Amino acid sequence: MSNIISYEERLKNFSWKAAEEELEYKEGNVINIGWYCSDRICNMGKADKTALIWENMAGVERKYSYNDLRLTTNTVGNFLRELGIKNEDRVCLFMDKIPELYIGLLGVLKIGAIAQPLFSAFGDESLFVRLDNAETTAVITQKKHAPKIRKIMNRLPNLKHLIIVDHDPAKPLGPGEVVLDLHTMPWVDELEIFPTKAESPSVLHYTSGTTGQPKGVKHVHYSLISQYLTTKWVLDIQDDDIYWCTADPGWVTGTSYGIIGGFATGATSCVMDVGFSADAWYKFIEKHKVTMWYSAPTAIRSLMKAGADVVKKYKLTSLRHLASVGEPLNSEAVVWSEKVFGKAFHDTYWQTETGSIMICNFPGMKIKPGSMGKPFPGIEACVLDTETFEPLTESGKIGLIGFKPGWPAMMRTYWRNEATYQNKFKNGWYLPGDRSSIDNEGYYWFVGRDDDVINTGGHLVSPFEVESALLENEMVAESAVVSKPDDINMEVVKAFVTLNPGFEGNKDTELIIMNFIRKKLSPLAMPQEIEFVPNLPKTRSGKIMRRILKAKEWGEEIGDTSTLEDD
């Protein structure tokens, strides 16, 4: 059963030391996330407790106890160390949601190296940009994804090792390739953990921006403090919970809460390496008696579309607490979940850069469908004037969300891009780049992004990155990428394209260009629609006016066009 303490009680005399004391951490001590998520749980007498339940689309299941987690992460750490990988070397994890991804990330952290998880559907160019920027030393991957790495390896002078977890022994290995097979190699019982401190770097996540290349968000081992406490208090994880975070660790939710939060609290975490299907998801919940479910609005809306009749086929009474993350959870989804599950999804708000939950619908707190909730205890938040960056005091007025810096999981910089990092702070506030209002009860209501970044299904897509890739196609002369409304994903990618002479804008051309982007970047970045146009709206200085195209897609006022060049 839940041991919920009210939001108001949690606010009283709040200190992050509550987490430090529970984790038996004192300032200046060693704090290593990999050790805290495995060895510490074993030392607490839970070595035989199930840490991870994994299942794939074929129904194959694997279970790992916390002692298994300790031994396998030791094995990964020892293997990397013997390859010569040192603390603060970047090690990329480029895998599907297989156990080796979850184990591998903790093993990387145990030796003080920096874990760089990347979404396994990324194409070779998306991979190259991120591996090149991070100057990655090693990539851990599967044989199915290895060809993407091989294709770009000669362009990455810092990449020394391609580590394959499921190599076919009948096939030869290429230069720099080695095998890490946890199924056949002996597990290592003792590993000297690298003595990482609070500010030692831990995870490097890449996030998209409006302009320029993706940015590497650097987190540190002290982020554990925020991640542990928010997992306990917001996701309400209890010792006997069966916890399912549906996020891929290629995205920050999948690491902060799909790996770190669940294991650090000693819960049993579930992973399903299967594409979305309402039947498959409900069957998984029923089979494993999932009690805490953390998912995304996109998935919830897809479940809504599948209908309430599907729900009735399964026994889902194990569910105790539901939460969502990634994008705004529309009020209809909250009402629907109350109706079909007897419980409302609790929306949470945060981002890659914040590292942990910032605004939430706290367990036991009155839910206002459509609201993000209130700031987590210890988070000082406000809505700022868009010009003066002063806090707005008027209820309901829209402004920029601002957070007072200093919470444990806050990013420490953008990798090799300190200037952009510093630009995220105005008037003493960190700006996540979103607009919101606050009502008279202190609830936050999301309005939208303050830039052109496209949030499709909870994943941020950079218009610049898609436009750059489009221009590499021989057919494309110019391009502009914006979002368009979508019932399931809230918004998806749409491209406006002018073609080079000799090419015709038709369905075949559209399909060729779509697949070009899919392979080069990822399925998420692929435009769902391409509109061929004779020219793009530009300012007199030649800058493409994306906002005009976006306004038309969303049925909004176009606004001032005084700087638009003459036709």
pLDDT digits (tens, 9 = 90+) for 133-168: 999 999 999 999 999 999 999 999 999 999 999 999
Asked whether residue 261 falls in the same domain as residue 159, the answer is yes
CA 344 to chain centre: 23
Residue 114 domain-assigned (yes or no): yes
pLDDT given at position 551: 86
Q: Please name the residue that has the structure tokens 């005399």.
A: 13
Asked whether residue 395 falls in the same domain as residue 539, the answer is no
pLDDT given at position 563: 41
Is residue 136 within 8 Å of residue 152, measured between CB atoms? no
The Cα-based distances of 184 to 143, 165, 169, 179, 361 in angstroms read 16, 10, 12, 11, 45
pLDDT given at position 559: 59
Q: What share of the chain is helix, strand, coil (3-state, %, to 5)?
A: 30, 25, 45
Spatial distance between the Cα atoms of 258 and 102, rounded to a whole number of angstroms: 9
Percent of the chain at pLDDT exceeding 90: 77
pLDDT at 1 over 80: no
pLDDT at 334 over 70: yes
Spatial distance between the Cα atoms of 241 and 291, rounded to a whole number of angstroms: 6
User: Which of 436, 467, 493 corresponds to the end of one domain?
Assistant: 436
Mean pLDDT of 353-370: 95
Side-chain-side CA neighbours of 34 within 13 Å: the count stands at 33
Asked whether residue 243 falls in the same domain as residue 120, the answer is yes
Find the length of the chain: 567
State pLDDT tens for residues 432-475: 999 899 999 999 998 777 777 788 887 878 787 788 789 889 99
Asked whether residue 395 falls in the same domain as residue 331, the answer is yes
Residue 559 domain-assigned (yes or no): no
Output the DSSP codes for 20-33.
Answer: HHHTT--TTS---H
User: Which of 385, 405, 436 corresponds to the end of one domain?
Assistant: 436
Is residue 53 within 8 Å of residue 270, measured between CB atoms? yes
Is residue 554 within 8 Å of residue 485, measured between CB atoms? yes
Q: Please name the residue that has the structure tokens 């306004």.
A: 551
Band (pLDDT 50/70/90 cuts) for residue 210 is low
CATH of the domain at 53: 3.40.50.12780
Q: Give every CB contact of residue 556 below 8 A, 6+ residues apart in sequence.
A: 550
- pTM given for the model: 0.86
Asked whether residue 342 falls in the same domain as residue 376, the answer is yes
Neighbours of 567 (CB within 10 A): 5
Out of 57-61, 279-283, 333-337, give the one with best mean pLDDT. Answer: 279-283
| 3-class DSSP state of 465 | helix
State pLDDT tens for residues 218-240: 999 999 999 999 999 999 999 99
Asked whether residue 226 falls in the same domain as residue 334, the answer is yes
Spatial distance between the Cα atoms of 178 and 176, rounded to a whole number of angstroms: 7
CATH of the domain at 532: 3.30.300.30
pLDDT at 101 over 80: yes
Q: Please name the residue that has the structure tokens 């610049």.
A: 464
Sign of torsion over alpha carbons 558, 561, 563, 567: positive
Residue type, 112: G
pLDDT at 542 over 70: no
Asked whether residue 336 falls in the same domain as residue 287, the answer is yes
Side-chain-side CA neighbours of 338 within 13 Å: the count stands at 10
Mean pLDDT of 495-509: 93
Asked whether residue 466 falls in the same domain as residue 386, the answer is no
Band (pLDDT 50/70/90 cuts) for residue 209 is low
Contacts by residues 357-361 (CB-CB < 8 Å, ≥ 24 positions apart): 357/230, 357/234, 357/325, 358/403, 358/407, 358/432, 359/444, 360/230, 360/234, 360/323, 361/323
Helix (H) or strand (E) holding 204: strand 201-207
Band (pLDDT 50/70/90 cuts) for residue 2 is low
Asked whether residue 385 falls in the same domain as residue 531, the answer is no
Asked whether residue 396 falls in the same domain as residue 463, the answer is no
Q: Give every CB contact of residue 270 below 8 A, 6+ residues apart in sequence.
A: 52, 53, 54, 55, 242, 243, 244, 284, 288, 290
**Structural domain of residue 487, as residue ranges?**
454-554
Spatial distance between the Cα atoms of 347 and 531, rounded to a whole number of angstroms: 35
Band (pLDDT 50/70/90 cuts) for residue 567 is very low
Residue 23 domain-assigned (yes or no): yes
Neighbours of 547 (CB within 10 A): 16
Asked whether residue 356 falls in the same domain as residue 467, the answer is no
Residue 529 domain-assigned (yes or no): yes
Residue 479 domain-assigned (yes or no): yes
- By the 10 Å C-beta count (0-12 exposed, 13-18 middle, 19+ buried), 388 is classed as exposed
Spatial distance between the Cα atoms of 53 and 61, rounded to a whole number of angstroms: 7
Query: Helices 99-110 and 66-82 meet at what angle, rounded to 10?
Result: 60
pLDDT given at position 446: 87
Is residue 158 within 8 Å of residue 112, measured between CB atoms? no
Is residue 406 within 8 Å of residue 480, measured between CB atoms? no
Asked whether residue 417 falls in the same domain as residue 463, the answer is no
pLDDT given at position 448: 75
User: Which of 386, 408, 436 corresponds to the end of one domain?
Assistant: 436
Residue 560 domain-assigned (yes or no): no
Residue 564 domain-assigned (yes or no): no
pLDDT given at position 562: 39
State pLDDT tens for residues 507-538: 999 999 999 999 999 898 999 999 999 988 87
Output the DSSP codes for 41-66.
Answer: HIIIIITTSEEEEEEETT--EEEEEH
Query: Helices 463-470 and 507-520 meet at what angle, rounded to 10?
Result: 120
Tell me the average pLDDT of the chain.
92
Helix (H) or strand (E) holding 515: helix 507-520
Convert 290-316 into a string of H (helix), E (strand) and C (coil).
CCEEEECHHHHHHHHHHCHHHHCCCCC
Mean pLDDT of 29-52: 98
pLDDT given at position 560: 47
Residue 448 domain-assigned (yes or no): no
Query: Helices 507-520 and 124-134 meet at what angle, rounded to 10?
Result: 30
pLDDT given at position 111: 98
- Output b/e per residue, 148-164; b: 16+ Cβ within 10 A: bbeebbeebeebbbbbb
Spatial distance between the Cα atoms of 173 and 419, rounded to a whole number of angstroms: 41
Count of structural domains, the chain: 2
pLDDT at 499 over 60: yes
